[in-house]
Amino acid sequence: MVNYLYRCPDRHESTAAAAMGSAPDRIDCACGRPAARAYTAPLISRLSVGQTRAADTAAATADHPNVVGAVPPARAAAPAPADPRHALLPRP
């Protein structure tokens, strides 16, 4: 079921639930006057602020990606384990 919005000439708003594509063009408003169907933007999905920001960032970088100016620095070697028993293990 889809909620459809209707407005009467006095600008009162009413909603009616109907199957998609089967909503009537007019309904009776609570004030007694006929209310015509109002066409509004659909509410397809709502994203959180973080999701919206991530989607906007992804869309912005799709046409103009950031270009790397240099090779990243080498990673530091992993520290030697502190357990002295590791020295007794066979080496590759």
Sequence-ordered list of residues with C-beta below 8 angstroms from that of 80, at least 6 positions apart, any chain = 86
Q: How far apart are CA 3 and CA 16, in angstroms?
A: 6
Helix (H) or strand (E) holding 49: helix 49-63
C-alpha–C-alpha distance, residues 5 and 37, integer Å: 6
Q: Is the CB of residue 5 less than 8 Å from the CB of residue 37?
A: yes
Domain boundaries in the chain?
2-38
Dump pLDDT digits (tens) for 24-66.
Answer: 999 999 898 999 999 888 766 677 888 888 988 888 888 877 7
pTM: 0.45
